[in-house]
Amino acid sequence: MARLDPPLTAKNGHKLEVLAICRISTVHQDKRSLADQEASYREWLAQHTDLPVEMHVVSSQGSGECLDRSELLDATEKVASGRFDLVITEDLGRICRRMQAHIFCESCVDVDTRLVAINDHIDTAQDGWEMNSVFAVMRHETYNRDTSLRIRRSLRNRFTQGGVLRCPIFGYIVPEGAKTDAEMRRDPNAEPIYDKWFRMLEEGATYAEVADYLNANNVPTGPSCRLPRWTGSMVSRVTHNPLIKGLRVRNKKISKRINKTGRRKSVNAPPEERLERHCPDLAFIAPDRYDRVIRLLDKRNAKYRRHLTNGRDPRANVSKKRTRWPGQHIYCGVCGRPFVYGGHGQRDRLVCSGAKNYQCWNGVTVDGPLARERLIASIYQALRQIPSFDAKLMSALEKECTAASEECLRKTKAMRQRIDTIDREIDNVITAIRRIGHSDRLGNELTSLEHERGELLDQLNATQLAAKSRVQVPTPEQVRKLAEKEFGRLSVESDEFARLMRRLISQIFVFPVQLIGGSATRLCASFTVCGSELLGSAAALPPAVKQQLESRICIRLFDPPQREQYREDVVRMRASGMREQEVADRLGITKTAAQSAAALQRTMDANGITDPWQPVTEPPSNDRRMKRHRHKRYKFEPLEGFPLPWPNTST
């Protein structure tokens, strides 16, 4: 027997209870290594004791830095029970990493359990084990860091040589055994798909709509994708992959250890860590077009970005779901927040999101399908009733359109001159950096110039498109025909129809109203229909033309009560000499309903009003169903610029 000082002893005096800890790091390692570790423990025990041994093995497969592994927690609980005489491991790194391994040793000592780490020469039964344990922990951490730096150095060098190929995305073919990007090639069948993909995004399609197009055409998701169908998130990731424009990027993200659990999360890497390699042969989209589309998408989606709360994103990694129109298009006229589906627990009813959070008293809900029907009917009617232009106005508008075309040419020339100036300034900054080295001030100046150049290129592209086509004054008949065509070919449930509505109407604001002498609160919608948005050259039209094609509308998003619905008929028929019962029989209502309609008219006459629906500008006291403002959590917090002035609900 090999001598141990002191020798191994059993708490029960006759059998040695041993906890053996085995671990391998990753799924790529051979699982037989766990059995090899267990065999080496048994051999060591056979050499160091003649007591009978009962060994309990805790085997795991995972990183030693992870402190929330179930196997580590299990081992910790077993040690805390105090039933074991010995904990044996190959080295402390098999238990866990960092100072937690030393703390594990201390927990063993607290319950009179001996711990032996064979390769680290640690035995808690011997004096001075604490220093050996601390140095072993430091040594393992140093080895980890050194190995990480060597791997990082090698990968960075191989990337600059064209190596370190990532999992290919859709459209790229990587032959088996390929080591560099020179062996990659584009799939010719993917070229028209990527062109259509980016054209849809340029025309205003969402990522989800592009995913629907790809799935409808049975486009594969890529050789490395686990999902068989495209999703909006997948489309967004591929769209923002610069490989599409022929640019390989490495170290955009780096991993950061969360010390509490030992696990790692991906964070944005500092700029100096980023590596780029140009591969023009792998480009599906021209770099200028790609950059323009990405800027367009970032600008379009900027309003959907989440706002930080105390410097943190409260809904990080939570995507916004797609919704049915008019969802995410109706806004509260009291607080300015959007209406969302699910009002009062009903799937098809829209309610102010501020009211749900007790920040607005307008808790009235809207029937989504009814609101959609009323809005579509009023928009279509407004487009069909656009008045014709007289000859004098047409002549003035023609002159204004000609002046607008000349203004586009002037702006184009000015922007090209400014872009040339910025290019010279960028060259000067780059020359200065090469001469004096890196400077934060020069770096910031270069970033600012490049950002300004990108903005000017976008403006130049839009202005050139407007200048190429001769701006002509559209006639109301043209607008009406376009409206009939668009409304006839699109399904009201489609995303394309919702996008058309958002072009025609910037925002829809709803305002609460009450029937005079009544209690129930309802909602009226107020918005402006821009008929010029149906035209392809709307951006180049003069303001006077756009204004002529606009219509201001206010509609009621509810069915009126019976006394209001029949009020005018009752008043007219009673004025002709008919009795109440005769009026009720003719209209198919009860005599009491006819009397209520007449009473409503008398109330209106007494108050000198012609519209029975009056605006509600503060929390109503006579509506038994609107009590959200009485809750202790309620605090009216309108967005900046609200409340808006109440519109004329009689229009």
Peptide bond into 638 cis (omega under 30): no
**Residue 473 confidence class, pLDDT cut points 50, 70, 90:** low
Question: Which CA distances in Å does 493 have to 232, 327, 333, 368?
Answer: 18, 12, 25, 12
* 634 Cβ neighbours under 8 A, 6+ residues apart: 358, 359, 361, 628
Residue 550: φ, ψ to 5°: -100, 150
- Measured over the CA atoms of residue 223, residue 224, residue 229 and residue 231, the dihedral's sign is negative
Residue 111: what pLDDT?
Answer: 92
Question: Which CA distances in Å does 351 have to 29, 450, 632?
Answer: 55, 44, 20
> CA-to-CA distance for 301 and 583, rounded, in angstroms?
57
The least confident of 401-410, 524-533, 550-559, 574-583 is 401-410
The least confident of 156-165, 256-265, 309-318 is 309-318
Task: For residues 441-466, give the mean pLDDT.
Answer: 79
Residue 85: φ, ψ to 5°: -90, -30
- Containing H/E element for 114? strand 114-117
366: amino acid identity, one letter? V
* Per-residue pLDDT tens over the stretch 226-239: 888 888 889 999 99
Whether 632 shows a pLDDT value over 60: the answer reads yes
Task: Give burial (CB, 10 Å; 0-12/13-18/19+) of 388.
Answer: exposed
DSSP, collapsed to helix, strand or coil, labels residue 645 as coil
476: amino acid identity, one letter? P
Task: Give burial (CB, 10 Å; 0-12/13-18/19+) of 274.
Answer: middle
Contact 247, 146 (CB under 8 A): no
> CA-to-CA distance for 489 and 297, rounded, in angstroms?
27
Task: Give burial (CB, 10 Å; 0-12/13-18/19+) of 186.
Answer: middle
What dotted CATH number matches 16-146? 3.40.50.1390
**Residue 585 confidence class, pLDDT cut points 50, 70, 90:** confident
DSSP conformational letter for 309: B
Residue 355's CB: how many other CB atoms inside 10 A? 25
* Per-residue pLDDT tens over the stretch 415-452: 888 888 988 888 888 888 778 877 778 878 888 888 88
Whether 471 shows a pLDDT value over 60: the answer reads no
Contact 564, 522 (CB under 8 A): no
Residue 170: what pLDDT?
Answer: 92
209: amino acid identity, one letter? E
> CA-to-CA distance for 214 and 4, rounded, in angstroms?
70
> CA-to-CA distance for 377 and 646, rounded, in angstroms?
23
Whether 469 shows a pLDDT value over 60: the answer reads no
| Beta-ladder partners of 89 | 21, 117
H-state helical runs in 475-620: 476-489, 495-504, 543-548, 562-565, 567-575, 580-587, 591-607
Contact 217, 209 (CB under 8 A): no
Whether 319 shows a pLDDT value over 50: the answer reads no
* 207 Cβ neighbours under 8 A, 6+ residues apart: 232, 233, 235, 236, 239
> CA-to-CA distance for 396 and 394, rounded, in angstroms?
5
Q: Which residue has the higher pLDDT, 102 or 356?
A: 102
For the chain, the domains span 16-146, 182-304, 391-472
Long-range CB contact pairs, 316-321, < 8 A, 24+: 319/232, 319/233
> CA-to-CA distance for 18 and 39, rounded, in angstroms?
14
Residue 636 token pair: 């009216």
Task: For residues 556-581, give the mean pLDDT.
Answer: 86
- Name the class of domain 182-304: alpha beta
Whether 648 shows a pLDDT value over 70: the answer reads no
> CA-to-CA distance for 360 and 457, rounded, in angstroms?
43
Task: For residues 473-497, give the mean pLDDT.
Answer: 70
Peptide bond into 6 cis (omega under 30): yes
DSSP conformational letter for 521: E
> CA-to-CA distance for 234 and 228, rounded, in angstroms?
11
**Residue 133 confidence class, pLDDT cut points 50, 70, 90:** very high
> CA-to-CA distance for 582 and 588, rounded, in angstroms?
10
Residue 246: what pLDDT?
Answer: 92
Residue 494: what pLDDT?
Answer: 74
Residue 78 token pair: 């077993």
> CA-to-CA distance for 384 and 377, rounded, in angstroms?
11
Whether 539 shows a pLDDT value over 50: the answer reads no
* Per-residue pLDDT tens over the stretch 283-300: 999 999 999 999 999 888
* Per-residue pLDDT tens over the stretch 488-516: 777 777 777 777 788 788 788 888 888 88
Residue with tokens 């002046």: 403
Q: Which residue has the higher pLDDT, 333 or 476?
A: 333
CA angle 140, 141, 147 (to 5 degrees): 90
**Residue 189 confidence class, pLDDT cut points 50, 70, 90:** very high
* Per-residue pLDDT tens over the stretch 14-58: 889 999 999 988 767 777 888 889 889 999 998 898 888 888 989
- Confirm whether 16-146 and 182-304 share one CATH topology: no
322: amino acid identity, one letter? R
| Beta-ladder partners of 123 | 116
**Residue 589 confidence class, pLDDT cut points 50, 70, 90:** confident
Task: For residues 525-533, give the mean pLDDT.
Answer: 79
> CA-to-CA distance for 35 and 584, rounded, in angstroms?
93
Residue 194: what pLDDT?
Answer: 95
DSSP calls for 358-379? TS-S----EEHHHHHHHHHHHH
* Per-residue pLDDT tens over the stretch 332-347: 888 888 898 888 778 7
| Beta-ladder partners of 352 | 339
Whether 364 shows a pLDDT value over 50: the answer reads yes
> CA-to-CA distance for 563 and 350, rounded, in angstroms?
26
Nearest partner of 327 among 157, 159, 510, judged by Cα:
510
Question: HEC states along 186-206?
Answer: ECHHHHHHHHHHHHHHHCCCC
H-state helical runs in 385-439: 391-436
H-state helical runs in 49-162: 70-80, 99-110, 129-160
